[in-house]
A and B are shown apart, each in its own frame.
Chain A
Amino acid sequence: MKQYTHYLLLTLCSITLSSIHARAQGPPIYTDTPILLGLEGSGVRTFGKFVNKDKANIYVQPFIFPYNITPKVLVGVLVPFINKNPENLSSRFGLGDMAVFVKRTIFQKDGKAKTFRVVGKIKQSFPTGNTTEIPALGSDSYQTLLGVVTGYITTKIGLYSELAYNVTSNGLSDNFVYNFAVGYPLLRQQYPAKQVNLYLELNGNYLLDPDSNILFISPGIQWIAGRRVLIESGLQLPLVEQVADTQKTNYILTLGARVLLF
């Protein structure tokens, strides 16, 4: 698997560097975007996430509903459904930990066909997932994530970053989330869009207690099918995984869609 990862990394880096003059973009698949939906803009995002581990298969289907209450403030709700299939145990399906979030544009510098934006983000998760039976569907912990999402998006390249600190309760380790993404389209930039975008992302999660790091490389492809519909898929492969062998992830496959409602 690691050999494939290196080939994939090399290929995607080559494509990224050779396409530096290509056109950009859409929102990244795993890294958050600093571009909000505009006043009273709303949408729904959902994706199926298939997590393959040594001792279990997990399927997560979150539904995310963002809504812009002012031109610079977006609020949203995240409702995840989880199906866990551990080895030697019966599988379980149900609601995971729900969350609400707020994003606010704190800096915006626009130019001709380019923008640089910084967004502050707060996400509050609630322990709504059942933990009384094994396997647990929730974390049994209130979690507050404070983060900053940055993006420099021009017609030539799109660079995104997301840095966030997640404060947990109930004995769980706090963690630091770090995501970076670069994206470019394969087709000519136009609106309404019939566009295919490629992404290369690094998605990291550093746990503070005990010190451990998880880092995925995440190539992805995105098809903007029209004004309001976007379909995307990505594969996350572990580059660094400092966790117990039984907890190790082989890969995460994601297939999803975003629809702008109004």
Chain B
Amino acid sequence: MNTLKVNAYKFLILILFSLVFYIPLIAQQENQSKTYIQIRVDGLSCPFCAYGLEKKLKKIDGVANIHIALEEGVVEMNVPTKKKPSEDDINKVVTDAGFTPREIKFSETPFKADNDNP
């Protein structure tokens, strides 16, 4: 009976240990989970004008690592997965900046030419 009690305590301690150490780790991992976004933007022909687009994109909640490749007409960035914006949100931001949004891609991994610096 005593052995059973001891084992039950050990089991409870193990559960508590898991709760204390693993749950924050999982939560942290969830927080760090990123969604990578690639937007094809038409009309990007002037570096001085691209500032307006970058400024607007920065207003998207959680956005980081914005990279604008003028010659390719491509913008890449990432956001925490739980703050992933909708395509409509992105389209509005690009249009407000004075450009024309085209294809928008979402990915759980960085795009090939992504310049993300962890």
Contacts and interface: CB of A to CB of B under 8 A. Distances in A.
Is B one of A's binding partners? Answer: yes
Interface of A: 23-27, 35-39, 41, 68, 71-72, 105, 108, 110-115, 153-155, 158, 189-193, 195, 224, 227-228, 230, 258, 260, 262
Interface residues of B, number: 28
B45 A114 contact: yes
Nearest to B45: A153
A68 to B, nearest CB: 8
A77 B69 CA distance: 33
Contacts of B95: 71
A115 B47 contact: no
B97 A38 contact: yes
The 10 closest A-B pairs by CB, nearest first: A110-B43, A38-B52, A193-B47, A110-B42, A110-B100, A39-B96, A115-B43, A38-B97, A112-B73, A153-B45
Grouping DSSP codes into helix (H, G, I), strand (E, B) and loop, the B interface class, with mixed when no group exceeds half, is mixed
B46 A153 contact: yes
Given A39-B56, A41-B52, A227-B51, A24 B97 contact: no
B70 interface: yes
Given A36-B98, A110-B99, A193 B42 contact: no
B52 A189 contact: no
Interface in B43-87: 43-56, 68-73
A24 to B, nearest CB: 6
Contacts of A111: 42-43
A243 B89 CA distance: 56
24 contacts: A25-B46, A27-B46, A35-B49, A37-B52, A37-B98, A38-B49, A38-B56, A38-B97, A108-B43, A110-B43, A111-B42, A112-B40, A113-B45, A113-B71, A113-B72, A115-B43, A190-B47, A190-B70, A191-B50, A193-B48, A195-B47, A230-B48, A260-B48, A260-B51
A258 B47 CA distance: 14
A43 B84 CA distance: 31
A155 B42 CA distance: 12
Contacts of B68: 191
Contacts of A114: 43, 45
A228 B48 CA distance: 7
Given A39-B97, A189-B71, A26 B46 contact: yes
Contacts of A154: 45
Contacts of B97: 38-39, 71
Contacts of A228: 51
